[in-house]
Amino acid sequence: MVFFPKSLQHKIEQVKEKHQFRSLKTNYPSIDFSSNDYLGFSSQGYLSEELKTLEPSIKTGSTGSRLISGNSFLFNEIENEIAQFHHGDSALIYNSGYDANLGLLSSVPQKGDLILSDELIHASLIDGIRLSFATHYKFKHNDINSLKELITRHQSTFKEIYVVVESVYSMDGDCSPLVDLANFCKGINAHLIVDEAHAIGVFGKNGKGLCYELNIEQLCFARIYTYGKAMGCHGASIVGSEELKHYLINFSRSFIYTTAMPEHTLLSIKAAYQLLKKTIEVEKLRSHITFFNTLTTKSHQNFIASTSAIHCLILKGNNDVQFLEEKLGKRNFFVKSIKSPTVKQGEERMRLCLHSFNTKDEIDVLLSLIHE
Ligand SMILES: Cc1ncc(COP(=O)(O)O)c(C=O)c1O
């Protein structure tokens, strides 16, 4: 039998004691208020139907990294389409949003540069920053004055400044003050990086994202679009300048040292963009978000203010949120509690994700049960 280190076993015991032990589940209640499939592209089969129009091949692998044997005309074609859709000069596809964020933040900011990030950015951005040789400070969540203070203190010491935010925060559902941030960054020549993971498919005409809706696309140094959420498939792209694309192809290790995405997944991304241009699901989702907000305002339920698909109710304590998750599960509602340490202790929460395919009745019943 192989030997498992005692120190690691001890860590497992510790998280169990704190009710923080994570395990993988396969059996989900059926009324989905938890997945990131905001438009039903995956679960409702919309994307697989659209994919048929592209006659996907059954080639199972891409045979190598993109710099060796894994590149194809299809990659070029789809990256051009993505750049066009998001009004950027270029797009570069990564195998996942995690890879994109890791590859961007670890390679672009250099020693002698400064990264300033919102304190609530996603782990994939944090991990990229950890691998970078630049200096890093966090500013208070969505607080532009806190960002300005850091700039005043450090601006003169560093060469380039990168400001890293998400358009929609995945564990809170609230939006970044992107217009103010973009104008501020422009004023001081800082480079703004925006992760649009939870905004694509949710905001803007044809679900183009929040940067589009707020007309700040051209003020962003890089925008990250992920395809595993509203787009119903997998992968991500970084949209920016031609120079950024050349740079990433040469220096971004999570792009260089990995097998390229297979054709089937690439075509799924192409089909997802095709679908986004014509679907009515974005409008349906938006109407559900408005309906949800009307009900929570009426019943004074204390959700974090949100116009995105993600809505969070702070309850405090891993036990309380787990209890509510189980209670709702028994009524067939698939709702996830978010426990510490994923969020700060004392800020444990129920995280509800709205979808275009949820019914208004389901939203009503769910909120009544939570209210009880
Ligand atoms: C804000 C944000 N960025 C990036 C990612 C990672 O994307 P992916 O799931 O494609 O790796 C996530 C996923 O949870 C996310 O919420």
* Closest alpha carbon to 365 in 45, 24, 137, 31: 31
Contact assessment for residue 165 and residue 121, using Cβ atoms and an 8 Å cutoff: yes
* Closest alpha carbon to 133 in 155, 162, 153: 162
Mean pLDDT of 179-189: 98
Pocket of ligand 1 from Cβ distances under 6 Å: 96-98, 101, 122, 124, 166, 170, 195, 197-198, 226, 228, 236
| Average pLDDT taken over every residue of the chain | 95
Identity of the highest mean pLDDT range in 27-41, 206-220, 300-314: 206-220
- Of 38, 98, 119, best ligand 1 pocket probe by most atoms within 8 Å of the beta carbon: 98
- Of 37, 122, 238, best ligand 1 pocket probe by most atoms within 8 Å of the beta carbon: 122
pLDDT of residue 25: 86
- Of 99, 164, 166, 170, best ligand 1 pocket probe by most atoms within 8 Å of the beta carbon: 170
Per-residue pLDDT band at 55 (split at 50, 70, 90): confident
Global confidence as pTM = 0.96
Atom of ligand 1 nearest to the CA of 235: 10
Fold agreement (29-45+280-371, 55-278): no
| Domain 29-45+280-371 bears CATH identifier 3.30.470.10 | no
CATH of domain 55-278: 3.40.640.10
Q: Express each pLDDT in 128-149 by its tens digit.
A: 999 999 999 999 999 999 999 9
Q: Express each pLDDT in 249-280 by its tens digit.
A: 999 999 999 999 999 999 999 999 999 999 99
117 CB neighbour count, 10 Å cutoff: 21
Output the DSSP codes for 7-69.
HHHHHHHHHHHTT----------SEESSSS-TT-TTTTSHHHHHHHTT---------S-TTTT
> Residue ranges per domain, the chain?
29-45+280-371, 55-278
Q: Is the per-residue pLDDT at 341 higher than 90?
A: no
pLDDT of residue 340: 86
Give the distance (Å) from ligand 1 centre to CA of residue 178: 19
- Closest CA to ligand 1's atom 7: 97
Give the distance (Å) from ligand 1 centre to CA of residue 226: 7
Q: Tokens at residue 182, please?
A: 């973009």
